[in-house]
């Protein structure tokens, strides 16, 4: 039987456990042996792997985080590191590796493929910032967490007639901000993909809303826009409305995954093993519409990310 391994790499995301579980269970059902690699690519460098059986992945699906732990591995990102990891795989008889992570992790998978080990990437990141796929594992849970947190912030913002500026995650990608902004009825949403004008997009808007009787304001800002505290102080200075900044931070990365994340992760994990079972390599699993598909890793990494202009227009029209 073929032997494969699974690892989670980069920032963790709720639903990664469901992907790992799906890889382990599918592999066993195809008659393969499967190893779990601890702490991302580091596990391949340190020989930190464990043989998995059906029961190794019991009771993990409902938990956030990743039972295999994760890391960003600078040592692996060198030609020597890649060779060392590939040699370790050969020593263990590992012919294929499923890598659950983001773009950075896929670049590692591509390099490991170059060193002779078949790799399949599975998109796992709360940011939804991977160009080749409509959906990344963890995104739905993060959105729902951010929405719930901002609803709570709204309660106190309203009681005090304040303005709350809430920073959500997304270094290069405004998807979390845009969707939570719509879901919480934000007065303005700032994303890294669209430049904003402080007077026109914030101050004028707040003043116009004030004239219609509005007394409290929620502004959602993507992490990638930056300077949230400074922006909050400028708003207070320009409008006279007492303002507070909240950075939601890593709370968005934890928690029990939603049904959508569990199901998509399960489908993607299964697809990855099916690819390896069919002799495929250097592929990324992706979601297009509701279909699970796959692409060449290098092609996937070169695809431009498309920002949802339509959704942005909806958000701009509804927020006031
Ligand atoms: O990529 C996921 C993410 O949560 C980003 O939204 C954020 O910019 C980054 O990871 C934070 O990374 P770290 O876990 O290293 O603080």
pLDDT of residue 269: 98
pTM, full prediction: 0.97
Tokens of 139: 């995104």
Residues flanking ligand 1, CB < 6 Å? 11, 102, 125-127, 169-171, 223, 253
pLDDT of residue 50: 98
Comparing CA positions, the residue from 174, 171, 119 lying closest to residue 285 is: 119
Rg (Cα) of the chain, in Å, rounded?
22
Q: At CA 254, angle to CA 270 and CA 98, rounded to 5?
A: 25
Percent of the chain with pLDDT over 70: 100
Model pLDDT for residues 154-179, shown as the tens digit of each residue = 999 999 999 999 999 999 999 999 99
Ligand 1 atom nearest to 252, measured from its CA: 4
Model pLDDT for residues 115-132, shown as the tens digit of each residue = 999 999 999 999 999 999
* ipTM score for this prediction: 0.96
Mean pLDDT of 226-236: 97
pLDDT of residue 1: 59
* Strand residue runs (E) in the chain: 3-8, 33-37, 49-51, 96-101, 118-123, 163-168, 188-190, 217-222, 243-247, 283-288, 291-296
* Residue of 12, 111, 127, 175 with catalytic role: 127
* Strand residue runs (E) in 149-255: 163-168, 188-190, 217-222, 243-247
């Amino acid at each position: 039987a073929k032997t494969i391994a699974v690892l989670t790499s980069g920032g963790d995301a709720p639903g990664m456990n469901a992907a790992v579980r799906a890889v382990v269970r599918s592999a066993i059902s195809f008659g393969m042996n499967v190893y779990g690699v601890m702490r991302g690519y580091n596990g391949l460098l340190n020989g930190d792997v464990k043989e998995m059986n059906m029961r190794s992945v019991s009771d993990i699906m409902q938990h956030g985080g990743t039972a295999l732990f994760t890391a960003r591995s600078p040592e692996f990102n060198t030609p020597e590191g890649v060779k060392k990891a590939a040699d370790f795989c050969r020593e263990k008889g590992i012919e294929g590796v499923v890598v659950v992570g983001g773009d950075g992790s896929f670049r590692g998978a591509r390099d490991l493929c170059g060193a002779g080990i078949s790799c399949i990437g599975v998109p796992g990141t709360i940011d939804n910032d991977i160009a080749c796929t409509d959906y990344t594992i963890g995104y739905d849970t993060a959105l729902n967490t951010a929405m719930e947190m901002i609803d709570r912030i709204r309660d106190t913002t309203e009681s005090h007639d304040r303005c709350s500026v809430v920073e959500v995650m997304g270094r290069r990608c405004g998807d979390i901000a845009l969707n939570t902004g719509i879901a919480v009825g934000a007065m303005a949403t700032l994303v890294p993909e669209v430049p904003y004008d402080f007077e026109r997009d914030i101050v004028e808007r707040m003043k116009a809303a004030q004239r219609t009787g509005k007394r409290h304001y929620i502004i959602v800002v993507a992490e990638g826009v930056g300077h949230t505290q400074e922006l909050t102080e400028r708003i207070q200075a320009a409008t006279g409305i007492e303002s507070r900044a909240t950075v939601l931070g890593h709370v968005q990365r934890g928690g029990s995954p939603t049904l959508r994340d569990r199901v998509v992760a399960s489908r993607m994990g299964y697809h990855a093993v099916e690819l390896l079972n069919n002799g495929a390599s250097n592929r990324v699993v992706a979601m297009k519409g509701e279909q699970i598909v796959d692409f060449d890793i290098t092609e996937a990494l070169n695809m431009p990310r498309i920002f949802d202009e339509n959704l942005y227009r909806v958000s701009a029209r509804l927020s006031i």
